[in-house]
Structure 1
């Protein structure tokens, strides 16, 4: 009888330990999910503000598009509009996919495969944005020169200071986009490290 009671007590204790382990594992997974999502909170906030600014500029250009009266200014306007509308949407959508990756209902391997895929897409979009921002600098200057001052950017007289300003602007954009891409790389690498902790 004592052996049966001992076995019953042992069985009950094993069940309780198993339940506690499952609960602990669930809590760890939920905390990991929260830590992972938080990695993208700040950058999502800034990208949302950036998107709002882009959309407001796009609306302004659209309302005044009729002022772009040559084929090359119209081309600049179309490129600028496309960039200001499409790029923020692509970035925000990609960020949302990465940030909302559900790690609770997937295996470690499935999570890592999904993350790697979404990370590549996000970084590719950032690379495209980096390269195209140099073109955008000139198309935006051409569009707003016409809309604000009614001057054709490509026909105005330029002096050495003007070219110096362009050189400074290109240098600034080069370092700013490089810093931005590096920030994305650091955040995505850091998030990946959190996911890899699940395999420990």
Structure 2
């Protein structure tokens, strides 16, 4: 009789332990997937911005053709930022260079009153400002998801289960450099 009770208690403990491990592992998977989905949102917003750039460059080219270096820098930076296979850190660095070159392009609007008055250019600037806001929000959401994921990986019981599962690794934060932070201060009005 005592052996049956002990066996029942051990079976219950094993079942609770198994439930605990499965629940914790599934939480880590859910958080990892949330970071991937958050990154996908950043990628969508970056692609939207990348699609605006050729039109912006073409609009500026008509008014500021002799600013060839600025226009080429934007095109080159866009090409680097749209490169395939970039990790989070490399993507952030490429986007920072692109943001800096876009800032110089936008500054051309201040130097050329005709360009600043052009409706098409103004519309593109407004769309670019909206895209920048969405990128900033998506970056904030992604970094928050990464922080939550890292906290779950590093705290108990996640740290134990992640070692047992072996499939959970840290994610990189999408850091905004000084150029991206300055770009959010630019007035497109």
Pairing partner for 2:102 from 113, 133, 136: 133
Structure 2: how far apart are the matches of 1:45 and 1:177? 10
Aligned partner of 1:182 in structure 2 is: 136
- Quick check: 1:23 aligned with 2:16? no
How is 1:110-121 mapped onto 2 (pairs within 5 angstroms)? 118=89
Unaligned runs of 5+ in 1: 62-69, 98-117, 142-157
Deviation at 1:177, TM superposition (A): 7.3
How is 1:156-195 mapped onto 2 (pairs within 5 angstroms)? 162=114, 164-165=116-117, 175=129, 179=133, 182-195=136-149
Deviation at 1:133, TM superposition (A): 0.6
Structure 2: how far apart are the matches of 1:3 and 1:135? 81
- CA change 1:179–1:49 in 2 (3 A) is closer
- CA change 1:47–1:181 in 2 (3 A) is closer
Q: Alignment length, in residue pairs?
A: 142
The TM-score with structure 2 as length reference comes to: 0.51
The TM-score with structure 1 as length reference comes to: 0.49
- Quick check: 1:88 aligned with 2:82? yes
Aligned partner of 2:8 in structure 1 is: 9
Deviation at 1:82, TM superposition (A): 1.4
Runs of 4+ in structure 1 deviating by more than 6 angstroms, as ranges, are: none
Q: Which has the higher contact order (CA 8 A, sep 6+)?
A: 2
SS at 1:194's partner residue?
helix
What is the CA RMSD across the aligned residues, in angstroms? 4.4
SS at 1:39's partner residue?
helix
Aligned partner of 1:46 in structure 2 is: 45
- CA change 1:126–1:77 in 2 (3 A) is closer
Which has more radius of gyration?
A: 1
Structure 1: how far apart are the matches of 2:106 and 2:78? 12
Aligned partner of 2:33 in structure 1 is: 34
Aligned partner of 2:181 in structure 1 is: none
Check conservation: 2:71, 2:105, Cα contact below 8 A: no
Deviation at 1:49, TM superposition (A): 4.7
